[in-house]
Structure 1
Amino acid sequence: MKIKFYILLLLCCIQGRVLLAQEKQPNILFIAIDDMNDWTGFLGGHPETITPNMDKLSKKSVNFTNAHTSAPGCSPSRNALLYGVQPFNSGLYPFYEHNIHEQLMQQYTSLPRLLKENGYSTFGAGKIHHGTLKDPREWTDYLDTQKNKKVFRKGEGYIKGKNGKYSFRPTLNPDEEHIDHQVASYGIEKLNEKHDKPFFLAVGIVKPHLPFDAPARFFDALPENITPPDMIENDADDIPKTGKSLRKIGEYNHYLNKDVWNDVRKAYLACISWADYNIGRVLDALENSAYADNTIVVLWSDHGYHLGEKQTFKKFTLWEEATKVPFIIYDGRPQEKLKPGTYSEAVSLINVYKTIADYTNINTPEYVDGESLVPIVKNQSVKLEDPTIISWGRGNYSVRNKDYRYIRYFDGGEELYNHKIDSNEWHNLAKDSDYQKIKNELNAHLPKHEKPMVSEHVSVWSIEGADKEKFKAKKSSSTTKNGNKNPKNKTK
């Protein structure tokens, strides 16, 4: 009897330690979304969007309604967030080949690695880094997704080119044949398992990234004619040279000349609804799991997206449509008594690293940029020390605070927009004498020092700003010398 008693006592002690660890360190559900702008219900970005699951989450969370990426492109945005370093402090301004990962892992400690090295089980699926990286230094387990040939509903949507990347069509495949469904199912599986350590569960939803293909029912739920975003014909008249060059107006004109902008926008909204559906599956699983009362949900998109505004398609600009992102933090621990609400001050995703470290009581490396948002989640009257800084190429920066956006390009070109009266950023006030004080105040927040651009493993097509001409000349010289063109990574 004594032996049984001591065994029972030992088991109780072990269970007690597990529960205590869970109380001290919450689980983290980390939902990363690819290329989603503010066309969601909880941000009010488009009147016809259908996002009931994210809307539901936002109502019980802190919804950061003025959140912005560190860079309007998948690779630099995710590098900044996952390694905790602004592009102007890391030199990671453009896109990079996936094999830069080892170099970065030698220099920095990624967020999942930080958590794993401090006692967390780390599970990942879908797109977390830019590229599927299953590094055992970061992940306890990572899902292998299964690609399947898509079956499309005939005669609907639009496709540009032959490789399927620029496709805007409804699919007829079963849900489980889509990558995002597999990713969400993996998240559900992990939430249904028993864990003896706190966990970091990263669910990387790929849509609405190109191609804009999604199950047909999400197209059918939308009206035939999609409301276009607000635009004016002379929008580019007061934009400086470099700003105009970032627009890549050829893609905008292609869809205009083909008269398919409605197809493009409808497909984008369908993909947003499809992403929301899968996010909802994971959130429902969390709500019904044993971890509902001890999990922090951090939902974010890596950058925004242009759907015709400023005669632009995709991202890669320093304007609102490309930098503004959905960003929600939910603290499910009843002892924290989270007061839901919205936060309208400008906030950068660079703060995610320190925020999660703060929640998990883990010290961050000294080089990590940003500040913890935990005080804001607890009290939305708290203000951050600095406005948000966005980079797209060395020397090209945007500064965003609650009411204004200031842009300065590497060649000295400037833009200033007053969001209190011009949310579409149609009227550049940089030369208006009445706004010089505000412009100077925002200008003072620009980085005083820029790290040189990391040139190893760089995707040359994505270089902008002060390094663009140098690398164009270098590439041209290399082409002339070798008699052929260097291969380019065109993964965008």
Structure 2
Amino acid sequence: MKKNLIFITTDHQRADTIGMIQNGKEVTPNLNRLASEGFDFKRAYTTCPLCVPARTALATGRFPTKNNVVINDLKNIPEITRNSKTIHEYLFENGYDVSHFGMQHITLKPALEDRVKFKRFLTDDDYEEICKRENIPLFGVAEDRVKVSERHGDICEDRQYTGSRVSLFEKPENLFRDRFYIDNALNYLESESFEKPIGMFINIWAPHPPFRVLKELMDRFPNPELPENINEICEGEPPKRREGIAAQLAEEKDLEHWKDVWRAYLGLTNYADELIGEIIEKLKEKGEYENTMFVFTADHGDHLGQHKMFQKMEMYEQSINVPLIIKMPEKNGVKIETV
């Protein structure tokens, strides 16, 4: 009998959050248990520390340069290769009921949703309808943006990027972005008959900035232990690196600011882990946990003030080392330390 596949990603989650202890408690207790039961890859690396290229590569198994998707653009890349087949298509062709919940950051022609007859396909477009109705800014407010100078070859232009500002999400939790995704995913699992194996893709937004956070998440890790190299420029750093976007986003931020950033980031990471736990429990309730293969990873990490940088883009460990856990039925847990 074919096994179900649950493929879960978060966004901006660093590899070192798996097994991390902050304020005396686990940041990712559910993922830690999944890692103990499966293959826990400690030296997994993103193909590109940018969301869209990394996610398109994950979907196709092809490097960003092979897909011609090397920038964060969902619609305007002119020469996307058309011969990149996705894991979604392989599953569908092999008799799986395929579904998708969460943001859709995979850039292909034809588009992903036009390649497969999804049993359920829920994305940011669906959440945006709630945002419009409830007056929720989908990608943050103007104060969340930072003006940076971005270079493309010989062209340098001003752009607005998401900065490290922390604020509270003051609407009810059921309107929170990832709560919306997971509630729909849980409802789908509840109604699923499992007459056919399922291929379920869940893309959790957390802990992606802007950090608009439920207050109780800010209170989960009130006094985070920060790495020693917060606001410390790397020894021997090339002079031009300060012109990079990650460096521009971290300018003039003090340690109290980064403490709040880490509180928000850890709270969101812990919340994402909690939601993953709900998916696991629902599968157990349906009697399908032991018949399910789990894959968990992230598109890339985040500097979070280390090397005086924020977001991703630069090739430091905290940006490119990603969590990767594969849990297979009837297999014992293995920690893999090699590249």
Which residue is equivalent to 2:154? none
Report the residue type matching 2:38 in the other structure: S
User: What SS class does the counterpart of residue 142 from structure 1 fall into?
Assistant: strand
What is the CA–CA distance in structure 2 between the aligned matches of 1:205 and 1:233, rounded to whole Å? 29
What is the CA–CA distance in structure 1 between the aligned matches of 2:214 and 2:235, rounded to whole Å? 40
Name which one, 1 or 2, has greater alpha-carbon Rg.
1
User: What SS class does the counterpart of residue 269 from structure 1 fall into?
Assistant: helix
Aligned pairs, number? 310
What is the CA–CA distance in structure 1 between the aligned matches of 2:301 and 2:121, rounded to whole Å? 27
Q: Is the 8 A contact 1:36 1:304 kept in 2?
A: yes
Q: Is the 8 A contact 1:76 1:95 kept in 2?
A: yes
Which residue is equivalent to 1:220? 219
Unaligned runs of 5+ in 2: 137-142, 147-159
1:67 matched to 2:66: no
- 2:327 corresponds to which of 320, 326, 330: 330
Report the residue type matching 2:227 in the other structure: P
1:135 matched to 2:113: yes
Q: Structure 1 residues 260, 77: CA separation in 2 closer, same or farther (over 3 Å shift)?
A: same
- 2:91 corresponds to which of 115, 118, 123: 115
What is the CA–CA distance in structure 2 between the aligned matches of 1:310 and 1:41, rounded to whole Å? 21
What is the CA–CA distance in structure 2 between the aligned matches of 1:87 and 1:46, rounded to whole Å? 38
What is the CA–CA distance in structure 1 between the aligned matches of 2:308 and 2:282, rounded to whole Å? 41
Report the residue type matching 1:292 in the other structure: Y
- 1:285 corresponds to which of 263, 274, 282: 282
Q: Deviations over 1:264-314 (max 9, x none)?
A: 221111111121121111111112223222110001111011011111111
Which residue is equivalent to 1:147? 130
Which residue is equivalent to 2:102? 126
Which residue is equivalent to 1:87? 64
Q: Is the 8 A contact 1:48 1:227 kept in 2?
A: no
Q: Deviations over 1:398-451 (max 9, x none)?
A: xxxxxxxxxxxxxxxxxxxxxxxxxxxxxxxxxxxxxxxxxxxxxxxxxxxxxx
What is the CA–CA distance in structure 2 between the aligned matches of 1:165 and 1:244, rounded to whole Å? 17
Report the residue type matching 2:94 in the other structure: N
Which residue is equivalent to 1:342? 335
What is the CA RMSD across the aligned residues, in angstroms? 3.1
Q: Structure 1 residues 165, 323: CA separation in 2 closer, same or farther (over 3 Å shift)?
A: closer
Q: Structure 1 residues 207, 58: CA separation in 2 closer, same or farther (over 3 Å shift)?
A: same
What is the CA–CA distance in structure 1 between the aligned matches of 2:289 and 2:135, rounded to whole Å? 35
Residue identity over aligned pairs, in percent, reads 25
What is the CA–CA distance in structure 2 between the aligned matches of 1:62 and 1:255, rounded to whole Å? 38
Which residue is equivalent to 1:204? 203
What is the CA–CA distance in structure 2 between the aligned matches of 1:38 and 1:46, rounded to whole Å? 19
Superposition TM-score, scaled by structure 2 size: 0.81
What is the CA–CA distance in structure 1 between the aligned matches of 2:242 and 2:36, rounded to whole Å? 38
Q: Deviations over 1:246-279 (max 9, x none)?
A: 364232123239x522222211111111211211
Report the residue type matching 1:36 in the other structure: Q
Q: Structure 1 residues 234, 284: CA separation in 2 closer, same or farther (over 3 Å shift)?
A: closer
Report the residue type matching 1:84 in the other structure: G
Q: Is the 8 A contact 2:68 2:80 kept in 1?
A: no
Report the residue type matching 2:70 in the other structure: Y
1:178-257, aligned counterparts within 5 Å?
178-192=176-190, 193-223=192-222, 225-231=223-229, 235-241=233-239, 243-246=241-244, 248-256=246-254
Report the residue type matching 1:71 in the other structure: C
Task: Report which of the two has the higher share of strand.
Answer: 2
Q: Structure 1 residues 52, 99: CA separation in 2 closer, same or farther (over 3 Å shift)?
A: same
Q: Is the 8 A contact 1:67 1:327 kept in 2?
A: yes
Report the residue type matching 2:168 in the other structure: P
Report the residue type matching 2:336 in the other structure: Y
User: What SS class does the counterpart of residue 63 from structure 1 fall into?
Assistant: strand
Q: Is the 8 A contact 2:97 2:199 kept in 1?
A: yes
